[in-house]
């Protein structure tokens, strides 16, 4: 506001009208949040009508220190300029402000000036702040997505599913993205402001924020804390005492707030689904359509040869050493929708972005944006990181046996193991959509072979043809806390009885293939009759795996078969996810904004041991901020535990209350309640 004796009395930012029109009303109604390329209105109150020949001018400042100055023209201009038009009505002026669809996103400071007929500044308003976001509803914006149903999901939906488990036993994890929760938008811009480029050269960084390629790549680097003042610190060794176990998070909001409140100090700890969940929140909040993606049997190819090489000795002990190629049971990243004006025509649309710190890209731990189409078509030279993403979904798995004299023998080659059931949540409900076809052509098709050649991939050939013996591993559904059988079948498809050596091991592993301990091992000398099968049954008891099982509750069974009279060696491997119990969540009361509700949470300990230090974590966008409830004492085998929580919904609509339970010997137990909240 200007001097009390001046003409200007105040300015109404019309936040409610503008924010609803710009689809940011869920974010805030007290502050102005608008999307670029779409006009918004302001009302300037004056003490007297403005003199006819006096002019209004508008100045915008952008950047942490207002480094970038924008003069807004008072007449219609080209699409690449800011301009406004005005309608004067007695003591009020209604201004309609037009922004270019390619202007930088950010927090702007706006000042109105009153100019005399000869251009002198007579008066100016107190600066007002507004937020400018990407606009996927605007055709001229490079993130334009012409499908309202997709926008409802990939911009406006605060709840989602992250997929975990294994390719043949897929499970879903509810996640609270919470992109419209209080102050999350401020934290998103705070993340951008703490990037190395922003700290070193803020003016260049601010100008580059017009480009979603630049912004998404910056966010991908900043979500992990490896190189910079990033948000989440990754850890995979099971030691989380100085932080929070990755399995305990139920959403992004608590992580983002913790990072901001600590002065941009990294939050401990995350793993791939946490990194992807946080990245999805930030990108949706900024207005870039984004979805989380899970790739099953995801390759981490450390040497770039498009093969994942597993090396074992004859005792089935890993002898890879150093930096090892790995196949993760699953791996999560995100896709964002945008034009790629920095690439040849044809690479617009979904771009893969991976915030999990695996390999450096241009010296920084980030990955993407990589056009998904480039991955499918084998265009591995496209930026950014197409070769790495291609290997994640297309690498060969080659297994070798290394003998005491250093010689090694290739015992298996699988061209179909890597990149299975690539998944995201459907826009039409809480179920899985398979998007594998976006990343690769059907296995074994002519087009797939062409893509391999195009990518420069060498197809490794196995020595010799198929042998007489075949090896299969079967298992019933395995439930955490119970004993279960694994059956190894050796089939002799030849015409002669065949003697062989069989070694079977079971190991507790993490979802990204780190070994936590051997559960059980069995070796057997056997003779398999012609045209018959031999079955070896291994019973895995909780006593065997309970002490070493990882927080991902995954057992890997590996079988090695060597025929005595033949050079053939066969290796098979299966990952067995242990089924988890569920929390029961029931909400009692009338779901109305600001009216108290009670959530009853119950759980039965499935393990034959006592659980200690149990903690329930609860959160829900529009329902309650993240909260923790301690379990009432130790929980014995088969014992029930019940807690209750009161909360008052803050926003209407379809809402989800998400609950996690963690204890000393059991983690990642989830529950969810869905409710429809009405306005008063």
DSSP secondary structure string for all residues of 222-275: HHB-SSSS-SEEE--SS--TTS--GGG--BSHHHHHHHHHTTSPPEEEE-HHHH
Q: What is the mean pLDDT of residues 95-108?
A: 97
Res 455: pLDDT:
84
Cα maximum dimension of the chain = 107
Q: Are strands 128-133 and 32-35 parallel, antiparallel or unpaired?
A: parallel
Res 449: pLDDT:
79
Q: How far apart (Å, rounded) are the C-alpha atoms in residues 238 and 512?
A: 12
**pLDDT tier at 76 (50, 70, 90 boundaries)?**
confident
Res 652: pLDDT:
95
Confirm if 220 and 227 have CB atoms less than 8 A apart. Answer: no
**Residue matched to tokens 């079967």:** 474
Res 463: pLDDT:
44
Q: How many residues appear in the chain?
A: 680
Tell me whether residue 354 is one of the annotated catalytic residues: yes
Q: Nearest CA to 186 among 62, 290, 282? A: 282
What is the overall mean pLDDT for the chain? 91
State the Cα angle at 314 between 310 and 320, rounded to 5°: 30
Res 219: pLDDT:
97
Question: Bridge partners of 560?
Answer: 503, 571
- The packing angle between helices 184-193 and 253-261, to 10°, is 60
DSSP secondary structure, 576-641, as one string: EEPBPP--EEEEES--BTT--EEEEEEEE--SSS-B-S-EEEEEETTTEEEEEEE-SS-B-TT-EE
- Taking the alpha carbons at both ends of the chain, their separation in whole angstroms is 35
**Is the model's pLDDT at 71 over the cut of 70?**
yes
CA-to-CA separations, 6 to 122, 125, 379, in angstroms, rounded:
9, 10, 63
Q: With the CA atoms of 344, 104, 220 and 192 taken in that order, what torsion angle do they form, in degrees rounded to the nearest 10?
A: 160
Confirm if 323 and 141 have CB atoms less than 8 A apart. Answer: no
Tell me the two tokens of residue 441. 């052509």
Tell me the two tokens of residue 269. 């700890």
Res 466: pLDDT:
57
Least confident of 148-162, 300-314, 377-391: 300-314
Which one from 15, 46, 272, 332 is the annotated catalytic residue? 272
**pLDDT tier at 3 (50, 70, 90 boundaries)?**
very low
Res 304: pLDDT:
67
**Residue matched to tokens 């999307």:** 35
Least confident of 165-174, 352-361, 364-373: 352-361
For 509-523, write each residue's pLDDT tens digit. Answer: 999 988 899 999 999
Q: How far apart (Å, rounded) are the C-alpha atoms in residues 61 and 67?
A: 7
User: Which residues, 6+ apart, have CB-to-CB distance to 119 below 8 Å?
Assistant: 55
Kindly report the number of other CB atoms within 10 A of residue 527's CB atom.
11
Tell me the two tokens of residue 434. 């398979």
For 153-163, write each residue's pLDDT tens digit. Answer: 999 999 999 99
Q: What is the mean pLDDT of residues 370-379?
A: 96
Q: How far apart (Å, rounded) are the C-alpha atoms in residues 258 and 268?
A: 10
For 221-237, write each residue's pLDDT tens digit. Answer: 999 998 779 999 999 98
Tell me whether residue 272 is one of the annotated catalytic residues: yes
Tell me the two tokens of residue 466. 């198929």
Kindly report the number of other CB atoms within 10 A of residue 499's CB atom.
11
Dihedral sign computed on CA atoms, order 624, 628, 633, 635: positive
Res 479: pLDDT:
92
Res 207: pLDDT:
94
For 108-149, write each residue's pLDDT tens digit. Answer: 999 999 999 988 999 999 999 999 999 999 999 999 999 999
**Is the model's pLDDT at 460 over the cut of 60?**
no
Which one from 22, 300, 331, 534 is the annotated catalytic residue? 331
User: Which residues, 6+ apart, have CB-to-CB distance to 321 below 8 Å?
Assistant: none
For 233-248, write each residue's pLDDT tens digit. Answer: 999 988 999 999 999 9
For 603-628, write each residue's pLDDT tens digit. Answer: 999 999 999 999 999 999 999 999 99
Q: How far apart (Å, rounded) are the C-alpha atoms in residues 306 and 90?
A: 72
Which one from 141, 354, 379, 660 is the annotated catalytic residue? 354
Question: Bridge partners of 533?
Answer: 491
Q: How far apart (Å, rounded) are the C-alpha atoms in residues 459 and 24?
A: 51
Res 417: pLDDT:
86
Q: Nearest CA to 617 among 667, 554, 567, 550? A: 667
- Which domains are delineated in the chain? 8-133 (2.60.40.10), 148-455 (3.90.260.10), 469-577 (2.60.40.10), 584-677 (2.60.40.10)
Tell me the two tokens of residue 553. 């509750």
Confirm if 501 and 475 have CB atoms less than 8 A apart. Answer: no
Res 566: pLDDT:
67
**Is the model's pLDDT at 462 over the cut of 50?**
no
Please state, for a pLDDT cut of 70, what percent of the chain lies above it: 96
Q: What share of the chain is helix, strand, coil (3-state, %, to 5)?
A: 15, 40, 45
Q: What are phi and psi of 253, to 5 degrees?
A: -65, -45
């Amino acid at each position: 506001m200007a001097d009390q004796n001046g003409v200007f009395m105040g300015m109404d930012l019309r936040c409610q009208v503008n924010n609803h029109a710009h689809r940011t009303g869920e974010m805030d109604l007290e502050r102005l949040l608008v999307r670029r390329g779409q006009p918004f209105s302001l009302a300037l109150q004056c003490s007297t009508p403005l003199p006819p020949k006096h002019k209004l001018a508008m100045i915008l400042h952008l950047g942490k220190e207002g480094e970038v100055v924008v003069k807004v023209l008072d007449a219609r201009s080209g699409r690449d300029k800011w301009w406004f038009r005005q309608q004067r009505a007695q003591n009020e002026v209604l201004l309609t402000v037009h922004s270019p669809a390619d202007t930088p996103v950010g927090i702007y400071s706006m000042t109105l000036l009153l100019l005399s007929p000869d251009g002198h500044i007579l008066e100016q308003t107190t600066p007002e702040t507004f937020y400018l976001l990407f606009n996927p509803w605007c055709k001229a914006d490079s993130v334009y997505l012409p499908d309202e149903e997709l926008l409802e999901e990939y911009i406006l939906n605060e709840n989602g599913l992250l997929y975990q488990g294994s390719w043949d036993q897929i499970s879903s994890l509810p996640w609270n993205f919470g992109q419209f929760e209080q102050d999350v938008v401020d934290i998103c811009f705070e993340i951008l402001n703490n990037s190395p480029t922003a700290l070193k050269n803020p003016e260049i960084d601010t100008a580059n924020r017009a480009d979603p390629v630049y912004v998404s790549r910056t966010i991908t680097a900043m979500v992990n804390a490896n190189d910079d003042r990033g948000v989440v610190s990754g850890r995979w060794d099971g030691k989380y005492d100085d932080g929070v176990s990755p399995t305990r998070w139920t959403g992004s909001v608590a992580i983002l707030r913790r990072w901001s409140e600590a002065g941009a100090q990294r939050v401990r700890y995350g793993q791939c689904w946490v990194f992807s969940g946080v990245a999805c929140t930030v990108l949706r909040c900024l207005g870039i359509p984004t979805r989380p993606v899970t790739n099953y049997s995801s390759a981490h190819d450390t040497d770039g040869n498009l093969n994942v090489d597993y090396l074992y000795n004859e005792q089935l002990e890993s002898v890879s050493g150093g930096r090892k190629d790995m196949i993760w049971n699953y791996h999560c990243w995100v896709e964002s929708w945008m034009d790629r004006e920095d690439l040849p025509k044809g690479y617009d649309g979904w771009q893969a972005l991976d915030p999990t710190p695996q390999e450096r890209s241009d010296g920084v731990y980030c990955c993407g944006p990589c056009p998904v189409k480039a991955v499918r078509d084998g265009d591995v030279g496209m930026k950014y990181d197409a070769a790495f993403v291609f290997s994640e979904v297309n690498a060969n798995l080659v297994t070798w046996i290394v003998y005491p004299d250093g010689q090694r023998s290739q015992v298996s080659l699988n061209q179909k193991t890597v990149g299975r059931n690539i998944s995201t949540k459907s826009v039409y409900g809480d179920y899985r959509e398979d998007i594998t076809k976006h990343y690769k052509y059907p296995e074994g098709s002519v087009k797939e072979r062409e893509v391999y050649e195009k990518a420069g991939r060498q197809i490794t050939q196995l020595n010799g043809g198929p042998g007489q013996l075949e090896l299969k591993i079967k298992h019933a559904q395995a439930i955490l806390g119970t004993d279960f059988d694994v059956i190894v079948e050796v089939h002799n498809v030849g015409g002669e009885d065949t003697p062989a050596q069989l070694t079977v091991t079971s190991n507790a592993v993490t979802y990204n293939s780190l070994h936590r301990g051997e559960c059980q091992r069995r070796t057997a000398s056997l003779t398999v009759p012609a045209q018959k099968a031999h079955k070896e049954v291994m019973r895995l008891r909780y006593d065997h795996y309970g002490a070493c099982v990882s927080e991902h509750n995954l057992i890997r069974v590996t079988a090695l078969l060597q025929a005595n009279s033949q050079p053939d060696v066969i290796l098979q491997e299966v990952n067995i996810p242990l089924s988890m119990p569920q929390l029961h969540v029931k909400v009692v009361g009338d779901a109305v904004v600001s009216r108290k509700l009670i959530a009853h949470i119950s759980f039965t300990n499935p393990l034959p041991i006592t659980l200690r230090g149990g903690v329930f974590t609860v959160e829900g966008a529009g329902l309650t901020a993240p909260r923790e409830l301690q379990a009432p004492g130790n929980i014995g085998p088969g014992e029930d535990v019940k807690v209750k929580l009161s909360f008052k919904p803050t926003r209407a609509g379809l809402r989800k209350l998400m609950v996690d339970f963690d204890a000393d010997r059991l983690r990642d137990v989830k529950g969810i309640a869905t409710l429809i909240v009405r306005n008063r």
